[in-house]
Amino acid sequence: MGRRPVLEAALYNRHDYLWQDPVRFGCVVCALLLVFLPILPTIATLFVLLVVQLSAVALVSRFSLAGWSWQWGKRLHPGILASSMCRDWTNMSACTLVGAMLFLRHFGGPEALRPLGLLVVAVCLLPDARLCRWLLASDPGHRSDHLRDGFFWRDPVKLGAMLSWAVVCWIDRSTLPYLLWSAALLQFNSLVVLLDKYLSEIEVARPRGWECLFWEAEGRRLIVGLSPLSLLPVRHWMGDGMAIVLAATFAGLIVVPDLIRYALMIVQRIWEWVWRPRTRDATLVGILRG
């Protein structure tokens, strides 16, 4: 692959900072309004509802045609799809939290508004920390290789999902009904659009129907990204203990196989280093680095 498609993919899928992203910026503004306005006028409520619905618009604003993640080639596809998935999931999470704050302001107690407001600001500012730059290579080709064959500590979708599980298990129980209302009433359309957007991309290369969700890496990544939504009703109706057990089970299914695979890879490389012919550059550190 030439250098030009790689540079075009990196430019087109570059990171947008908070002030460049209308969804995250609008969520921060709405959180501040809901926390600090003593009286919430009708126009402010309508503004919050408008911002909350922007996540569905953002899902299709840049990529509305099937095959958008494949236009730069098969090698760059995993990195482009994962980065887009992280951006869309962040926007939908922020809008869900703002919707819960709106329900709390009208139907609940104001004491839970500040913690949720701080959580909204943290979610919106987390992408600006550029954690993906530390986890993945800057080159889109190498980034896709890490996502295709790497481990969970180099996958921002899996790390973000585990962080979301921790937040769902940690958040105050009195706030859970408002999060459920927000997800079911205000973000249902965004969830439908998100599923349609990514399922169509996963099925472009290998149309297997629902089997793609389990046999393709991108399908499993989509399930992991959506899994925090399942913990909300589990914790609300089945208790904190069941939610913690389910989150620990999800984490074990992600962490344990990768740790075993990593340990086997280290053993294999050490074995190859022991038995391969010695050269001047064949050091143990170089073998472990690959």
In sequence order, what DSSP letters do the residues of the chain get, joined into one string?
A: --HHHHHHHHHHTPPPPGGG-HHHHHHHHHHHHHHH-SS--HHHHHHHHHHHTHHHHHHHHS--STTGGGTT-TTTHHHHHHHHHHHHHHHHHHHHHHHHHHHHHHHS-GGGHHHHHHHHHHHHHGGGG-HHHHHS-SSHHHHHHHHHH--GGG-HHHHHHHHHHHHHHHS-GGGHHHHHHIIIIISHHHHHHHHHHHHHHHHHHS--GGGHHHHSHHHHHHHHHHHHHHHHHHHHHH-HHHHHHHHHHHHHHHHHHHHHHHHHHHHHHHHHHHHSPP-TT--HHHHHH-
Is 264 a domain residue?
no
Average pLDDT of 274-281? 59
- The pLDDT of residue 140: 61
Average pLDDT, integer, range 11-36: 82
What's the total number of domains in the chain?
1
User: Does 176 fall in a domain?
Assistant: yes
Does residue 268 form part of some domain? no
Q: What is the pLDDT, as a whole number, of residue 131?
A: 64
pLDDT band at 96 (very low <50, low <70, confident <90, very high): very high
Tell me if 226 is assigned to some domain. yes
Residue 270 domain flag: no
Give 207-244 pLDDT, tens digit per residue.
555 666 677 777 788 888 888 888 888 998 888 889 99
> Hey, is 13 helix, strand or coil?
coil
Residue 247 lies in a domain: yes
- Judge whether 98 lies within some domain: yes
Kindly state whether residue 276 falls inside one of the protein's structural domains: no
The more confident residue out of 236 and 280 is 236
Domain that holds residue 162: 3-253
pLDDT at 48 over 90: yes
pLDDT in the model for residue 276: 64
pLDDT level of residue 80 (50, 70, 90 thresholds): confident
- The overall average pLDDT reported for the chain is 79
* Residue 47 pLDDT > 90: yes
